Structure 1
Amino acid sequence: MGSKSLYLILLAGFFAILGSTMSKSPTLPLYAESLGLSRGDIGLVAAASTVTGIVMNFSSGLLSDLYGRRKLLIAGGFVFLSAPLLYFLADDALTLTLVRVYYGVATAIFVPVSFALVSDLYPDRRGTLMGFLSTSTLVGRALAPVLAGSIIYFLGFPVVFVLCSITGMVVFLLSFRFPDTGRELEKFEFTFSRELLVIGLLDASVYMAYQGIETFLPLFYYLQDKAWLSGLILTIEISIMAVVKPYAGYLSDRIGRRKPIIIGMTMVGLAMFAFAFSSSLWAVIAGAVVFSVGASVSEASTKPLATEVSRLRGTALGFLESIKDIGQAAGPVLIGFLGFKLGFLSVGIFGLVALGIFLARTGEHNVQT
């Protein structure tokens, strides 16, 4: 398969996540506040799309195995196009929540199905090229907040919503040019896989940590009243991931999936211990850097590995995304209730336990096909 299809998918990944992230960061809480919503309501609205993802990731992956990748991606592109325009109709917590639920469908379709498409098209380089797709989405995620924030400040919310719709239109139009793969299923079926669950636990622990850092980093006492610095650290974190993932994917293609997962998850655990026992700003920065590299190395292997332990690649990646979203939702709750020290420590231990279960399941053989 030539490189043209890959470039189209990477471009769609950039615009899909650019638009969806612009619609929520920092747009969503500011827009919700302008409608008069309370902080409690804003929290529920913000969680709506994540809850959608938990259900829809698996469903969209399964449907792509049944009906083909392109049809699902076209449907997702239509949601990216239409959802931002519905913000104009939202005037209270309920309608805004419904908009976020609908918008969440787009990301829940695009992420697992686009990665499955790359895995279908480039089986010999799936780790490397899935890493490039991750990077394209991370670049969009990194640019979105500053772009949306600037537009809101100078031009207002309507311009942001229209721009998000335009990025969705780009994704929608590009989707018609994607190769059509999938259709491994003739009827609905899914056999539960313990291997997939174990791989999912690894990703869940990574995103428990990621969302915990993103949520609570600004609240460390030496970062209070320094919003610019916490924002800079988070930007550096995303930038490191964007750079490392393709290289980590290439490494995974060359030496197998198991060794990078061991290295990456060990680094994630160490980073959480650094956050738990941090006594200075430099310890937090070091923890963020170590986490970024470790998360990138691990995830660059877990996604391609999921497509190798199951013939239903869309379903496998959708299942992985659903488990990941559960971890992402649980991380801030866990740290919020247990406190910084015990919370980050618990997340780190959970990750290392997940790694131990993975090692026990895979033994000494090479898990790459």
Structure 2
Amino acid sequence: MRAVRTRLYIILLAGFFAILGSTMSKSPTLPLYAQSLGLSRGEIGLIASASTVTGIVVNFASGLLSDIYGRKKLLSISGFVFLSAPLLYFLAGDALTLALVRAYYGIATAIFVPVSLALISDIYPDKKGTFMGILSSATLVGRALAPLLAGTLIYFAGFWTVFLLCSLFGLIVFGLTFTFPDTGRELQRVELSFSAGLLIIGLLDAAVYMAYQGIETFLPLFYYLQGKAWLSGLILTVEISVMAAVKPYAGYLSDRIGRTKPIIAGMGLVGLAMMIFAFSSSLPLIVSGAVLFSVGASVSEASTKPLATEISELRGAALGFLESIKDIGQALGPVIVGFLGFKAGFTFVGVFGIAALLIFTITFKSLKTKG
């Protein structure tokens, strides 16, 4: 029992440092560093999207490769990228090289997230929802701490301290991956078939992250938050904190009562939150919407990922596919809200999520899983 607990702690520690370092390198570091190089806002936007584009491609590939070659080998590769990528910032002097660095850095997260979740599913098949939720919370804590730590270091010591510290965190992750058990290897040769079920689950996650990125991007621009960057930052911190607190309990609930009911409840809350954002006229409504979204997203996502591993024999490929679809939704969120406006944009995202939920409930009604 002690060995099992120690193994979990090591995976959680690796997840914390992996996301802490990768988030520090971009928030608020990336736009400030790019600005110091004399780059335009348009160039900064394209550079920021480079790692997301990488994730869309690499997530699925890394999950599939972990089914063939094992989780440990892929996670060690991601650890090496976490270690080496921050040092490449010192060589970046223009938009192209900085975009290439971001694309390379994106490989690390695109490998680590789906493969570490697949590893959890391998080791703890009966408690995968609970422990996936705990791992997600560990990464969220790292994500929440990163901007404050990076911003403080930039203010007092400059960019070089951030990049070196990110590399140090990557070294820790790289070292920890060698202690991971070597699971996976379910696939002897590549024989893939299309899964409509996985696509539908992926649409649910895409809707959640479409909403998440839309909120994160445009929250500071609501008229009663303009000029109050500290307040919008506080609301986003509360949002992440609620997600980190709820996910382990949501995962435990999913293990106990099945996957379908939490997904329905969670996506319902996400849809309601989007309507609040679309038609909000006061700060209390915005805060309420942020909290409802955090709870709903946590409850839904704590069930979608375990469910994906239950309807597919290739757990790594299934989770990688979900991450790729999620990244597409995350990339589209700000575009949709930006072009349609707050009212129509957030309404569209909410309706998209509810539509995906309706398709899910019809499709999975007769599916014989734990739900």
Aligned counterpart in structure 2 of residue 359 of structure 1, from 358, 361, 371:
361
- The reply on whether 1:158 has 2:160 as its aligned counterpart is yes
Q: State the distance in 1 between where 2:366 and 2:312 align.
A: 20
The answer for the alignment partner of 2:135 in structure 1 is 133
1:19-76 Cα deviation digits (max 9, x unpaired): 0000000000000000000000000000000000000000000000000000000000
- The reply on whether 1:229 has 2:231 as its aligned counterpart is yes
Aligned counterpart in structure 2 of residue 304 of structure 1, from 296, 299, 306:
306
Q: State the distance in 1 between where 2:194 and 2:121 align.
A: 21
The answer for the alignment partner of 1:290 in structure 2 is 292
Structure 1 residue identity aligned to 2:7: S
Is the 1:256–1:366 Cα contact (8 Å) retained in structure 2? no
Shift, 1:170, TM fit: 0.3
- The reply on whether 1:322 has 2:321 as its aligned counterpart is no
Q: State the distance in 2 between where 1:70 and 1:365 align.
A: 32
Shift, 1:367, TM fit: 3.2
Is the 1:258–1:367 Cα contact (8 Å) retained in structure 2? no
Is the 1:248–1:296 Cα contact (8 Å) retained in structure 2? yes
Shift, 1:188, TM fit: 1.9
Shift, 1:318, TM fit: 0.1
The answer for the alignment partner of 2:120 in structure 1 is 118
Residue 226 and residue 366 in structure 1: after superposition, are their counterparts in 2 closer, same or farther (change >3 A)?
Answer: farther
- Unaligned stretches of 5+ in structure 1? none
TM-score normalised by structure 2 residue count:
0.99
Q: State the distance in 1 between where 2:186 and 2:247 align.
A: 28
The answer for the alignment partner of 1:280 in structure 2 is 282
Is the 1:257–1:366 Cα contact (8 Å) retained in structure 2? no
Q: State the distance in 2 between where 1:297 and 1:19 align.
A: 26
TM-score normalised by structure 1 residue count:
0.99
The answer for the alignment partner of 1:343 in structure 2 is 345
Is the 1:262–1:355 Cα contact (8 Å) retained in structure 2? yes
| RMSD across aligned positions (CA) | 0.8
Structure 1 residue identity aligned to 2:298: S
Aligned counterpart in structure 2 of residue 265 of structure 1, from 267, 284, 289:
267
The answer for the alignment partner of 1:216 in structure 2 is 218
The answer for the alignment partner of 2:95 in structure 1 is 93
Q: State the distance in 2 between where 1:358 and 1:243 align.
A: 26
Q: State the distance in 2 between where 1:2 and 1:160 align.
A: 34
- Which 4+ residue blocks in structure 1 deviate beyond 6 angstroms? none
Is the partner of 2:127 in helix, strand or coil?
Answer: helix
- The reply on whether 1:82 has 2:84 as its aligned counterpart is yes
Shift, 1:191, TM fit: 1.2
Percent sequence identity is: 75
Shift, 1:192, TM fit: 1.1
Aligned counterpart in structure 1 of residue 31 of structure 2, from 29, 32, 35:
29
Q: State the distance in 2 between where 1:319 and 1:306 align.
A: 9
Q: How many residues end up aligned between the 2 structures? A: 369
